[in-house]
Structure 1
Amino acid sequence: MDRRDFIKTLGIAGGAALVGGTVGVPVAAAEVRAEAGPDPLLKDVCDIHIHCLPDTRPRCIDEFTLAGQAKAAGYKCVMFKSNDWSCHDRAYLVRQALPDFEVFGSICMNRVHGDKVNVFAAEQAVKTSGGLCRCIWMPTLSAAYQHQRDKLPGPGIPVLDPQGKVLPEVIRVMEICAEADIIFASGHSSPQESLILAKQAKEIGVKKFVVTHVNSLIWKMTRDQINQAVDLGAFVEYCYLPRLWGPGTGNPQFERQSRREFLNYVKTVPERSFISTDLGQRGNPNPIDGMRQCIRELLAAGIPQKEINLMVRSNPAHLIGLNK
């Protein structure tokens, strides 16, 4: 067994996939699909929100194996996200084994980096070899908003002060993202916090401000809020994960989002939107199978190909820095 096969074997431990194109149907835990090769539906796709091993939470596949599958399927790029650890340094190594494929990483400002948004961690991330950190997320699982809503212990990490103003360390990270021309993402901030961040980002000159998963759980935005964010220069992210979770999946505690609700979101402002899978959790589909199912669903609903291209190709490619 060579090194690639060894790593691949590690990567297929656990997981789930889509069966015959049916959304959310679990399969045997050891079966991780997306090995079929080139797929015209997936040509030049950019998925810039994927969770893989190594991580502190159970995942269905590792970064190296997923990147190889994405390259074989015809993707243009992937970007990995961990709620705890940076991924951009690993992206540098994955690229050595997968030449001619665009792999990127990111960093989240969670508690592993301290009790507040860590400016030094952000500075070092953008200095790391290869320049592959293309997104700095505000706190996610450590966010003050999530701690409040989910009644988690401790206050969480804030992005605003008690008067509702953006904290100085958050402003400095915005400046770092603006200088490096990378994504500043709202993380698990509340919809109202995200709008305040968007206003501040516009004043600073952040060109790639992203409000994350605006169709998910406690971060859902109204149509009016989405339009406000866009008017402030933001891009909005829709995740396909809510269309897949529910009983019998890796996230059984959540109610699956209806097809109608998901489509209502993606139709809002496609010119300033993009779709990520947010997949990689053990018990959920392989992210590539999830993206394939998403595109099929959009096509079946009559979403114009031009708008699909914007949301899964052009806009994420622009944000990641591939479309100059």
Structure 2
Amino acid sequence: MADNNTNYPTIVPLTEMSPERTAEVAELLVDAVDLHCHSGPAAMPRILGHTEAFQMAEDAGFKALLYKDHYYVGMPHCAVLKDIYPDSKVELYSGVALNNASGGINPHAVDHNIKLGGKIVWFPTFAAKNHIEAYASKSFPKTAKPMLPPIPLTVLDANGKLIDEAKQICDLIAEADIILAGGHLSAAELFVLFEEAAKRGVKKMLVNHPSYIIGCSDEDIRGLVGLGAYMEHSICMFIPGRAKQHETEDLIHMMEVAGVDRTVLGSDLGLTQAPKPVDGYRMIVSDLLDHQVDKADIKKIISTNASGLINLAA
């Protein structure tokens, strides 16, 4: 399956590593799980397709790869790849993002996602009112071809209460025992959503890139973890590339705030002018080793914690 945007090359090379460090990193990547792979085809420009992302993960010994697209469910792509490569060891998953293309905060889209074997539901991302307001005065990467402008979405009504559709979605997620991800909702929205979700039996809650768009303070991170959430940090924001916003020290600080047992790394890669997903994992793992992060802790945040979220044995 070819990428539909092959004219966008990767411009950031993989960090040079000694043979010893290369072997050390390779060992740690065995059984890694990426819950945030942005390969294509996609409306957004991507530097690799699902097949290449899958093959790179397979070659590196990953346990699982979860494709994320902002506009479509990806489980059919996973099924096709597994049919073509029946002997592959890496498990392939996807989910649904509740943007306008899926009908917004739409229980029917969630039900369909679950029936296809989806492992995650992302609440609105690019169509989130919070996202749209954050980029009202600055540019955001565009789709390869212009699309209709998004209709802003929020999970709260005019009184700040959770809307009925969001409650129904929480019930569906709880029954299926899959991941509820916050998408690009604001921290304030997440507190309302996650508190209600926990009451309704949702066991797996994930905050996507809390330091970007979401607006989480250290106090917010502690509070959301207190509700049972995991913090998923996007590797792309800590390594060289156009999405970089932080240094490795910032990641280590947020790991300490949430606790290693509640921290997950997802690549959030496939975007242009950045490394490919597996290369991103190699770079961040090497950086964490440089900062003397314990190997057991690295294993938790790139493998063990995410494995539990998708019901794979650690």
Residue matched to 1:58: 45
How far did 1:135 drift? 0.4
Corresponding residue number in structure 2 for 1:92: 79
| Pair 1:297-2:282 in alignment | no
8 A contact 2:100–2:150 mirrored in 1? no
What are the equivalent positions in structure 2 for 1:39-54 lying under 5 Å apart? Answer: 39-54=26-41
Alignment partner of 1:83 out of 57, 70, 75: 70
State the 1:12 CA deviation: 6.2
Structural mapping, 1:213-252, within 5 Å: 213-216=209-212, 218-244=213-239, 249=241, 251=242
2:173 aligns with: 177
Corresponding position of 1:123: 111
Conserved 8 A contact 2:5-2:45: no
1:220–1:9: structure 2 CA closer, same or farther, 3 Å change rule? closer
Structure 1 residue runs without a partner (length 5+):
1-6, 24-35
CA contact 1:52–1:80 (8 Å) conserved in 2: yes
- Distance of 1:236 and 1:258 partners within structure 2: 17
**Could you tell me whether the CA contact under 8 Å between 2:12 and 2:273 is conserved in 1?**
no
| Distance across 1 between alignment mates of 2:308 and 2:106 | 26
CA pair 255-126 structure 1, distance change in 2 beyond 3 A: closer
Change in Cα spacing, 1:86 to 1:305, as seen in structure 2 (3 Å) is same
Aligned to 1:27: none
CA distance in 1, matches of 2:190, 2:303: 24
Residue 98 (structure 1) shift: 2.6
How many residues are paired up? Answer: 294
How far apart are 1:124 and its partner, in Å?
A: 1.0
- Secondary structure of the residue aligned to 2:300 is helix
Given that 1:12 and 1:61 are in contact with CA atoms closer than 8 Å, whether structure 2 keeps it comes out as: yes
Are the equivalent residues in 1 in contact too, given 2:127–2:150 (CA < 8 A)?
no
1:150 maps to: 135
Q: Which residue of 1 aligns with 2:90?
A: 101
- Report the equivalent of 1:196: 192
SS of the residue 2:94 aligns to: strand
Alignment partners' CA distance in 2, 1:136 and 1:126:
9
Q: Between the two proteins, what is the percent identity of the paired residues?
A: 26
CA drift of 1:108 comes to: 0.2
Change (3 A) 1:20 1:231: closer
- TM-score w.r.t. structure 1 length? 0.84
1:267–1:15 CA distance, 2 compared to 1 (3 A): farther
